[in-house]
């Protein structure tokens, strides 16, 4: 690339765009499906049951402790496939770039995507690039869509949730939210919190392959644990009770939450799994989770109950119960 910064012409579909695609994107993502650079990628799949997902990433800042928008955009979409019980296979990557971003920053993010995709064993097989004028975007937005295979016999759905089921979480909550917030606001902590941004497909695979008792899984991103459990409760038609003292939250995250006025149960996570499993399989699933580095701090945090239907109750450490509602209003914009 002869330029240092992205120009509007990089989005024109002409020579500079051609150069950008070849020297940055194709170089990082190279594979046999992407390399013809057709307007679509064509591939064969050995099965007919597929999962399809999409997410746009607008996180601010685009580099943060524990990750960047590129890593996030691959992990997030891999996770949305994985929690549906699918094996993630192919991703698309579409970039909306603000004119003037340093090409070196773009390259770092694209390389981070390539590395994350490689690690997660997914291929980026089709893509798109648009450039908008200065002040009409914010450095970089990335959309990734993903396709995965759902193997025979795997069926996960909130509709399978039953009273008595156990509610598990794979580790500490709120790391991503606090990492972004502190970095954004320039808050220095004694023990800095890193984003938990990670691809969960292997953890999910471990769990699915060892237990038939999985009802539904989710990754509690925007809106956090509280919002995700509310969605699951609403879809299942049953209630949930979770115990505050069993919910893993790091001391430094608790501290930051107290100072900043946040509730860790509403903070976004980018590498955590919530699993609703049959009572009988809870022990096995916890054990399996804890053997995987990404599930080391897994915990049983609650139970599905008949009443109150569609609601989530939080039992505090002194035994009080209160309704834990969905996130209302805005806690932290542009967290993912």
Return the residues of window 203-222 that contact a copy of itself according to CB under 8 A.
218-219, 221-222
Using CB under 8 A as the binding rule, whether residue 36 contacts a copy of itself is answered as yes
Alpha-carbon gap, residue 32 to 45, rounded angstroms: 15
In the complex, minimum distance from the CB of residue 171 to a copy of itself, in angstroms, rounded to a whole number: 19
Bridge partner residues of 130 (DSSP): 96
Alpha-carbon gap, residue 195 to 70, rounded angstroms: 13
Among 15, 22, 134, 254, binds a copy of itself (CB under 8 A): 15
Compute the half-sphere exposure of residue 170: CA atoms within 13 Å on the CB side of its CA: 30
Question: Total residues at the site for a copy of itself (CB under 8 A)?
Answer: 85
Using CB under 8 A as the binding rule, whether residue 195 contacts a copy of itself is answered as no
Instruction: Give the contact letters, 146-185, x = binds to a copy of itself (CB under 8 A), - = no.
Output: xxx-x------xx---------------------------
Contact 204, 275 (CB under 8 A): no
- State the residue for tokens 């699933």: 285
Using CB under 8 A as the binding rule, whether residue 194 contacts a copy of itself is answered as no
In the complex, minimum distance from the CB of residue 185 to a copy of itself, in angstroms, rounded to a whole number: 15
302: helix, coil or strand?
strand
In the complex, minimum distance from the CB of residue 173 to a copy of itself, in angstroms, rounded to a whole number: 15
Contact 29, 114 (CB under 8 A): yes
Using CB under 8 A as the binding rule, whether residue 263 contacts a copy of itself is answered as no
Bridge partner residues of 241 (DSSP): 303, 313
Among 3, 47, 191, 212, binds a copy of itself (CB under 8 A): 47
Which of 241, 235, 246 is closest to 165 using CA atoms? 241
Element (DSSP H or E) covering residue 106: helix 103-119
Which residues inside 83-102 make contact with a copy of itself, applying CB under 8 A? 83-84, 86, 90, 92-96
Which of 309, 312, 293 is closest to 301 using CA atoms? 312
Among 3, 12, 212, 316, binds a copy of itself (CB under 8 A): 12
Among 55, 246, 263, 297, binds a copy of itself (CB under 8 A): 55
Of the listed pieces 207-215, 227-235, 271-279, 283-291, which binds a copy of itself according to CB under 8 A?
227-235
Q: What six digits make up the tokens of 96?
A: 């909306």
What contacts 181, CB < 8 A, 6 or more positions away? 187, 256, 260, 262, 332
Of the listed pieces 51-59, 62-70, 174-182, 289-297, which binds a copy of itself according to CB under 8 A?
51-59
In the complex, minimum distance from the CB of residue 100 to a copy of itself, in angstroms, rounded to a whole number: 13
Using CB under 8 A as the binding rule, whether residue 261 contacts a copy of itself is answered as no
Alpha-carbon gap, residue 304 to 283, rounded angstroms: 16
Nearer CB in complex with a copy of itself: 129/292: 129
Of the listed pieces 120-128, 185-193, 250-258, 286-294, which binds a copy of itself according to CB under 8 A?
120-128
Using CB under 8 A as the binding rule, whether residue 236 contacts a copy of itself is answered as no
Which of 214, 208, 199 is closest to 72 using CA atoms? 199
- Dmax (CA) for the chain in angstroms is 66
Nearer CB in complex with a copy of itself: 294/336: 336
Of the listed pieces 106-114, 127-135, 194-202, 298-306, which binds a copy of itself according to CB under 8 A?
127-135
251: helix, coil or strand?
helix
């Amino acid at each position: 690339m002869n330029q240092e910064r992205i120009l509007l012409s990089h989005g024109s579909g002409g020579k500079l765009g051609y150069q950008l695609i070849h020297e940055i994107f194709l170089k990082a993502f190279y594979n046999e499906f992407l390399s013809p650079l057709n307007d679509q990628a064509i591939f064969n799949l050995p099965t007919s049951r597929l999962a399809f997902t999409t997410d746009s990433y607008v996180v601010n800042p685009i580099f943060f402790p524990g990750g960047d928008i590129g890593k996030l955009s691959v992990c997030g979409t891999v996770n949305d496939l994985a929690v549906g019980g699918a094996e993630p296979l192919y991703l698309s990557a579409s970039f909306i770039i603000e004119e003037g971003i340093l090409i070196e920053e773009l390259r770092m993010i694209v390389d981070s995507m390539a590395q994350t995709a490689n690690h997660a064993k997914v291929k980026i097989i089709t893509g798109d690039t648009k450039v908008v004028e200065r002040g009409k975007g914010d450095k970089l937005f990335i959309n990734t869509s993903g396709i995965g295979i759902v193997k025979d016999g795997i069926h996960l759905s909130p509709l399978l949730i039953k009273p008595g089921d156990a509610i598990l979480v794979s580790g500490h909550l709120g790391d991503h939210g606090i990492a972004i917030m502190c970095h954004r606001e320039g808050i220095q902590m004694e023990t800095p919190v890193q984003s938990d941004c990670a691809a969960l497909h292997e953890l999910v695979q471990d769990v699915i392959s060892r237990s038939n008792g999985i009802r539904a899984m989710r990754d509690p991103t925007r809106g956090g644990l509280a919002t995700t459990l509310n969605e699951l409760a609403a879809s299942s038609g049953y209630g949930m009770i979770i115990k505050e003292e069993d919910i893993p939250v790091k001391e430094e995250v608790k501290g930051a939450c107290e100072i900043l006025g946040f509730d860790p149960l509403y903070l976004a996570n980018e590498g955590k799994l919530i699993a609703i499993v049959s009572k009988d399989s809870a022990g096995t699933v916890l054990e399996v989770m804890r053997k995987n580095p990404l599930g080391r701090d897994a915990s049983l945090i609650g139970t599905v109950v008949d009443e109150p239907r569609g609601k989530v109750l939080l039992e505090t450490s002194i035994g009080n119960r209160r309704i834990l509602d969905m996130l209302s209003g805005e806690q932290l914009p542009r967290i993912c």
